[in-house]
Amino acid sequence: MTDYCCDVIVHIDETLDNETLAQLEKTIGNERGIYSACINETARHLMVVDYDPIDISAQTILTQIHHQGLHAELIGL
């Protein structure tokens, strides 16, 4: 079995508190195919997501963030 790894940066429009950011990282990080989801400490509106494109797409990641009631865009990597 081969694992593939892609990265994407997601721009989150809302300003979120620490608890909400931690919950978002956990929620996205627990999705199948996600290796990690990390908020940038100095640019708290950016999340870097490492994922397996065989298991999940960048668009699905964005949809999961939208399901949290947030506005966000993919800005690439």
For the chain, the average pLDDT equals 94
Give the mean model confidence (pLDDT) for residues 1-17.
89
Looking at residue 3, its pLDDT comes to: 75
Inform me whether the pLDDT recorded for 76 exceeds 90.
no
> pLDDT per residue over 13-62, tens digit each?
999 999 999 999 999 999 999 999 999 999 999 999 999 999 999 999 99
Looking at residue 2, its pLDDT comes to: 63
Q: What is the CATH number of the domain that holds 60?
A: 3.30.70.100
Q: CA distances (Å), 32 to each of 14, 35, 54, 68, in order?
A: 25, 9, 10, 17
Indicate whether 1 belongs to any domain: no
Residues of the domain holding 65: 6-76
Alpha helices by DSSP H, listed for the chain, are 18-29, 58-66
Looking at residue 77, its pLDDT comes to: 62
